[in-house]
Amino acid sequence: MRRDYDVAVVGGGLVGAALAWGLARDGQRVVVLDEGDMASRASRANFALVWVQSKGLGMAQYMGWTVRSSDAWRQLAQDLRAQTGLDVCFERPGGFHLALGEAELAARAQRLKRLHNQPGAADTSVEVLDRAAVERMLPGIGPEVAGGSFCPLDGHVNSLRTLHAFHKGLHLLGADYRPGHTVHDVVPAQAGFRLMTSRGEVGAEKIVLAAGNANMRLAPLVGLKSPMQPNRGQILVTERAAPFLHYPLVTIRQTDEGTIMIGDSREETTDETMLDLSIAAVEADRARRMFPALGKLNVVRTWSGIRVMTQDGFPIYDQSERYPGAFVVGCHSGVTLAANHALVLAPMIARGRLNADLVGAFSARRFDVAKVA
Amino acid sequence: MSAGANPYDVAIVGAGPAGLGAAAITAGAGLTTLLLDENPTPGGQIYRAVTTTPLKERSILGGDYWAGAALVAEAQASGAEIVGGATVWSLDASRELAASWAGTSRFIKARRVILATGALERPFPIPGWTLPGVMTAGALQTLLKSSGLVPDGRLVLAGTGPLLWLFAAQLLRAGARIEALLDTTPWANYLRALPHVPAFAISRYAAQGLALRREVARQVEVVSGVTRLRAEGQGGLASVAFAARSGERRLMADVLALHQGVVPNVNLAMAAGIAHRWQPAQLCWVPVLDAAGNTSIDGIAIAGDGTGIGGALAAEAQGRLAGLAAVAAVAPERLARVPDRQLLAQALARAERGRALLDQLFAPPRWSRLPEGDTIVCRCEEVTAGQLLEAVGIGAMGPNQAKAFLRCGMGPCQGRLCGLTVTELISKARGVAPAEVGYFRLRPPVKPITLAELAAMAHTQRAVAAVVRE
Amino acid sequence: MLRRLLEEGQRVRLTIDGKPVTACVGDSVAAAMLSCGLRYCRTTPISGEKRAPYCMMGVCFECLVTIDGINNRQGCLIEVREGMRIDTQLGRRTVE
Ligand SMILES: Cc1cc2nc3c(=O)[nH]c(=O)nc-3n(C[C@H](O)[C@H](O)[C@H](O)COP(=O)(O)OP(=O)(O)OC[C@H]3O[C@@H](n4cnc5c(N)ncnc54)[C@H](O)[C@@H]3O)c2cc1C
Ligand code: FES
């Protein structure tokens, strides 16, 4: 049973679903091939920030690309709501990065300075605030908070509902979503590609690899590369509480449902089945020092997720020279960049060509350059 | 109270028959033994409050209940450190437990861990089951045992299973009035159970079970073959509606007590990473155990109803056997001081006799396990059966994607009251076996703890480095 | 909704939603509330629906109440104490 598609998207997480949704809206016949229910899916484990400050140290183009997505998110949220009835609760009140103690504040200011001194850096209007200024916006901070940075472009969203909305949208657009179809091989064929999955073969004219860290293995099959270096993050979440935190922080945010999410570590392991409680304890401790009132809340769940991470931390968007119908898309911040993926990148892929002016900097060829240099 | 001998030879979670039996053996053999239970007093569900109950009239709860007093006394005399009000909220493969009591959490290490966390009542997702006034029959029994409280007003019992009849009899003996007992056992179950009659006839369940039925039926209207059960009311129970042979009926009611059997309480074991499998006869998840009762994690055993439903006597025998295995592993030279393995194995076999019939006869019907439409599946997050089916329709293959889409199983109960329903509904919708659908991925804390309590636990250098990165 | 079989147990005094009541030593908070005639102990943080203790064994979290000012405590696992202040839990807890 072989059905033909204009495009097969490998991976149904936030990146794959956003691209597939954008492609389907563009009139493409789309199939999404995904793993099963127990898959390691960063889209189910993320912190749901649409985040601008601190992005792009080492690649100024990434700053601009991030700002662009942050600006496009409102449109995306509206489109999803109009189509699916699901409110993904995108908000952009601006966001904080708080410092516990003067040393952390100085390090923060230093980092932002380096970020914005890069040639071609985008204007994010980020500013470093002292304790008094922070306290005016965030009453209830603990005595150790020395200050922080604030960026008016930062925001957050309900990322699980976003995943739900993309999938519902795909369904409504008539795209085929096939979970339980782990792709283990891709064979370039005469007019397109044959994808070998755990439940049979699928054919498509174009393919988009959006399989997270598995892109590393799949990309070489179609003349692409995607060097990855995954790591693990752990998150805690509390019971629902009445609204108390009106701005997201990089490590603490209150969701539209009222729960408070606290993140998020970075560990050099990729075992997501286990948890390090000592890390949860440090995260809880820092959250309590930032907002002492949080101490009384009940933590109801914790989880760890494996970050999709390229080797330099910046997105990889590439098109195969040998097999021009093959694309690879991989990045860490799939929530933040969802608007770009759905509204900007997907139409390029539908046309069959990545626009080098917009996304040329994200080609994986940069890793060759790095090796030569 | 501090955890005195940490690290312990043996740590046991759950002070029901299984945990008490295990502690009696290991502490009796001189192993340092810590027995933790989140209830204030030992006894588990069956022997709930056996040392503190205000009920002096022994006939109300019956001899099987009071037998627990001797077991509690034996465990208390064994030298085990027994801590009540202690919630174990994490366990990992290195046999490190995290437990909270008296407002503080601590890590506890043990050479052997025995989980005896028992069972909970199977979800009973019918329309209106979240209304105040609807509770489990076991909840009413707990109120009776712990506080000597009985329902006042019109009480209706509904469901299936041997415990339902026991609960009814105990309530009647305590002077409660029961308007009706709505038996939902499907007629077809009687046929399916037939082949198991010979083994059952010589078990202790047979005589006891029939006597209980007679006792209840003498005093209460028993309606058999009940289907389409609903609880009705605005902001509280007003009436119970159902279909029976005689047609549709509606009873005015103040309390509706639901029960359709018990299922293993798997949260802690699953969060520890212990492998489980679907048990088709009991329609629930059970841990995968080897012949000696070991789980997939070295040094962690499970005993009692947490391994599959076997009842209190089987639980106690399993607990003692697990205790014995712990002694053999930690201090084989002390084996002379413990009872003979053979005798315990025989007691277990006796206790398990007749179980197969109970499983067949009291298998809950499909309609009361597989709700439809607006009926709530996940009580915490108020997710309905219809929403769940819609999620399956757009591609959720299993409970974890459904949870991501709908939040079912994300509330404080962590799926205890919806997990089986979610697995079975997805299984039905997709036309595949529950084993293929799978279960929620569970993680610590298996019970909520305060942020402050978590924050106060040990911070390793590595942990600090993983969190503070700038 | 519930009646006590024996009245001789040792009593403790508490308040429920500000009203002075008595319960027996050994009662859980949930049992005490039901024995005082309360039909429900909380409203949900989602739809605001009324809920009452369902399992009485610590697994369903329907018995969440405010005890001595601390929100969302599991009433069926906590024993009453002299002078305890119990309040129904209305919707989401507060952070203060
Ligand atoms: C509500 C109810 C009422 C019942 N009534 C009867 C009856 O009257 N007669 C009868 O024959 N059978 C009854 N049963 C069945 C009977 O309880 C079991 O067959 C028997 O108790 C199994 O023994 P156990 O030791 O395996 O588990 P249990 O008796 O359930 O003991 C397990 C213990 O572990 C504790 N625990 C669980 N998780 C944790 C944790 N994370 N941290 C700390 N402690 C934990 C629990 O509080 C509990 O005390 C009842 C079951 C239920 C659910
Ligand atoms: S009544 Fe179920 S947890 Fe308390």
For helices B399-406 and B385-393, give the axis angle rounded to 10 degrees. 110
Ligand nearest to the CA of residue C30, numbered in listed order: 2
| Reported confidence tier of residue A370, pLDDT bands at 50, 70, 90 | low
The DSSP H or E segment spanning B143 is: helix B137-147
- Report the separation in Å between the CA atom of B288 and the middle of ligand 1, taken as the mean of its atom positions: 20
Taking the CB of residue A185, how many other CB atoms lie within 10 A of it? 11
> Does residue B113 register a pLDDT over 60?
yes
Mode of pairing for the β-strands spanning B221-223 and B180-183: parallel
| Reported confidence tier of residue B356, pLDDT bands at 50, 70, 90 | confident
Which atom belonging to ligand 2 lies closest to the Cα atom of C64?
4
d(CA B179, CA B256): 10
Which residues on chain C are in Cβ contact (under 8 Å) with A294? Answer: 95
Contacts of A222 (CB under 8 A, 6+ apart): A186, A188, A193, A207, A209, A320, A322, A323, A326
> Does residue B184 register a pLDDT over 90?
yes
d(CA A177, CA A170): 8
Looking at residue A280, its pLDDT comes to 95
> Does residue A1 register a pLDDT over 50?
no
- Report the separation in Å between the CA atom of A276 and the middle of ligand 2, taken as the mean of its atom positions: 29
Specify the 3-state DSSP secondary structure of C49.
coil
CA nearest B436: which of B397, B385, B386, B393?
Answer: B397
Taking the CB of residue A284, how many other CB atoms lie within 10 A of it? 29
Whether the Cβ atoms of residue B318 and residue B264 lie closer than 8 Å to each other: no
Which residues on chain C are in Cβ contact (under 8 Å) with A297? Answer: 93, 95
d(CA B176, CA B84): 31
Looking at residue A339, its pLDDT comes to 98
Model confidence over A146-158: pLDDT tens digits?
Answer: 999 999 999 999 9
Model confidence over B289-315: pLDDT tens digits?
Answer: 987 779 999 999 999 999 999 999 999
CA nearest A293: which of A254, A250, A235?
Answer: A254
DSSP B311-377: -HHHHHHHHHHHHHHHHHHH-GGGGGGS--HHHHHHHHHHHHTTHHHHHHHTPPPSTTTS--TT-EE
DSSP B252-313: E-SEEEEEE-EEE--HHHHHTT--EEEETTTTEEEE---TTSB-SSTTEEE-TTBTB---HH
Q: Which residues of chain C have pLDDT under 70?
A: none
Strand partners, A1: none
Phi/psi for B315 (5° steps) reads -60, -45
Looking at residue B214, its pLDDT comes to 94
d(CA C73, CA C52): 13
Name all chains with 3 or more CB-CB pairs below 8 Å to chain A: B, C
Whether residues C72 and A294 touch (CB distance < 8 A) is answered with no
Q: How far is CA B90 from the centre of its chain?
A: 18
Name all chains with 3 or more CB-CB pairs below 8 Å to chain C: A, B
The 8-class DSSP code of residue A296 comes to: G
Token pair 């597989």 is at which residue? Answer: B370
> Does residue B396 register a pLDDT over 80?
yes
Mutation choice for ligand 1 from B13, B88, B91, B117, CB with most ligand atoms inside 8 A: B117
Whether the Cβ atoms of residue A331 and residue A310 lie closer than 8 Å to each other: yes
Name the CATH superfamily for B123-260. FAD/NAD(P)-binding domain (3.50.50.60)
Q: Which pair of structure tokens corresponds to residue A16?
A: 């794959």
CA nearest B44: which of B78, B11, B77, B67?
Answer: B67
Which long-range contacts does B229-234 make (Cβ < 8 Å, 24+ apart)?
B229/B126, B229/B158, B229/B182, B229/B184, B229/B368, B230/B126, B230/B127, B230/B128, B231/B126, B231/B127, B231/B128, B231/B129, B231/B131, B231/B133, B231/B134, B231/B256, B232/B127, B232/B128, B232/B131, B233/B128, B233/B131, B233/B133
Mutation choice for A interface testing from B89, B401, B416, B462 by most A CBs within 10 A: B401
Model confidence over B405-445: pLDDT tens digits?
Answer: 999 999 999 999 999 999 999 999 999 999 999 999 999 99
For helices A159-172 and A60-84, give the axis angle rounded to 10 degrees. 60
B225: left (phi over 0), alpha (psi -120 to 50) or beta: left
> Does residue B236 register a pLDDT over 50?
yes
Give C11-88's CATH code, choosing from 3.40.50.10860, 3.40.80.10, 3.10.20.440, 3.40.50.2000: 3.10.20.440
d(CA A358, CA A354): 8
Q: What is the mean pLDDT of residues A241-253?
A: 96
Ligand 2: does its nearest atom lie under 6 Å from the Cβ of C31? Answer: no
| CA closest to C95 among chain A residues | A293
Chain-wide mean pLDDT for chain B? 94
Model confidence over A160-199: pLDDT tens digits?
Answer: 999 999 999 999 999 999 999 999 999 999 889 999 999 9
Which atom belonging to ligand 1 lies closest to the Cα atom of B166?
8
Ligand 1 pocket, residues with Cβ under 6 angstroms: B 13-19, 36-39, 44-46, 64, 86-88, 116-121, 138, 141, 163, 166, 262, 265, 268, 304-306, 311-312, 315, 446-447; C 57
Instruction: State the sign of the Cα–Cα–Cα–Cα dihedral B439, B444, B450, B455.
Output: negative
The DSSP H or E segment spanning B58 is: helix B58-61
d(CA B378, CA B400): 14
Taking the CB of residue B134, how many other CB atoms lie within 10 A of it? 26
> Do the domains B8-120+263-338 and B123-260 sit in the same CATH topology, yes or no?
yes
Q: What is the mean pLDDT of residues A310-339?
A: 97
d(CA B75, CA B27): 8
- Report the separation in Å between the CA atom of B265 and the middle of ligand 2, taken as the mean of its atom positions: 14
Instruction: State the sign of the Cα–Cα–Cα–Cα dihedral B215, B220, B222, B228.
Output: negative
CA nearest B196: which of B349, B355, B313, B350?
Answer: B355
Token pair 């709908």 is at which residue? Answer: B406
Q: Which candidate from C39, C57, C72 shows the least CB-CB separation from B133? A: C39
Domain ranges of chain B: 8-120+263-338, 123-260, 370-437
The helices-and-strands tally (H runs, E runs) of chain C is 1, 8
Q: Which pTM was predicted?
A: 0.94
| Domains of chain A: residue spans and CATH | 5-82+159-227+312-372 (3.50.50.60), 95-152 (no CATH), 231-307 (3.30.9.10)
d(CA B276, CA B286): 5
| Reported confidence tier of residue B13, pLDDT bands at 50, 70, 90 | very high
d(CA A15, CA A37): 17
The 8-class DSSP code of residue B24 comes to: H
d(CA A236, CA B452): 13
Give B8-120+263-338's CATH code, choosing from 3.20.20.70, 3.40.50.1000, 3.90.1150.10, 3.50.50.60: 3.50.50.60
Give the ipTM.
0.97
> Does residue B196 register a pLDDT over 60?
yes
| Reported confidence tier of residue A371, pLDDT bands at 50, 70, 90 | low
Q: What is the mean pLDDT of residues B387-405?
A: 97
> Does residue B1 register a pLDDT over 50?
no
**Single-letter residue type at B223:** V
Specify the 3-state DSSP secondary structure of B124.
coil
d(CA B34, CA C74): 24
Q: Which pair of structure tokens corresponds to residue B434?
A: 């529950």
Q: What is the mean pLDDT of residues B247-259?
A: 98
Looking at residue B301, its pLDDT comes to 97
Contacts of B1 (CB under 8 A, 6+ apart): B83, B101, B102
For helices B162-173 and B204-219, give the axis angle rounded to 10 degrees. 50
d(CA A311, CA A107): 24
Whether the Cβ atoms of residue A35 and residue A64 lie closer than 8 Å to each other: no
Q: What is the mean pLDDT of residues A211-237?
A: 95
Ligand 2: does its nearest atom lie under 6 Å from the Cβ of C74? Answer: yes
Whether the Cβ atoms of residue C71 and residue A298 lie closer than 8 Å to each other: no
Tell me: domain B370-437, CATH 1.10.150, correct?
Answer: no
Model confidence over A250-281: pLDDT tens digits?
Answer: 999 999 999 999 998 998 887 877 788 999 99
Whether the Cβ atoms of residue B368 and residue B124 lie closer than 8 Å to each other: yes
Looking at residue A3, its pLDDT comes to 53
Whether the Cβ atoms of residue B355 and residue B312 lie closer than 8 Å to each other: no
Domain ranges of chain C: 11-88
Question: Three-class SS string for B203-239?
Answer: CHHHHHHHHHHHHHHHHCEEECCCEEEEEECCCCCCE
Q: Does A367 touch chain C (CB under 8 A)?
A: no
Minimal C-alpha gap between C50 and chain A (Å)? 17
Q: Which pair of structure tokens corresponds to residue B27?
A: 């502490």
Q: What is the mean pLDDT of residues A116-141?
A: 96
Q: What is the mean pLDDT of residues A226-251?
A: 95
Characterize A225-244 residue by residue with b for buried, 16 or more Cβ atoms within 10 angstroms of its Cβ, and e for exposed: bbebebbbbbbbbbbbbeeb
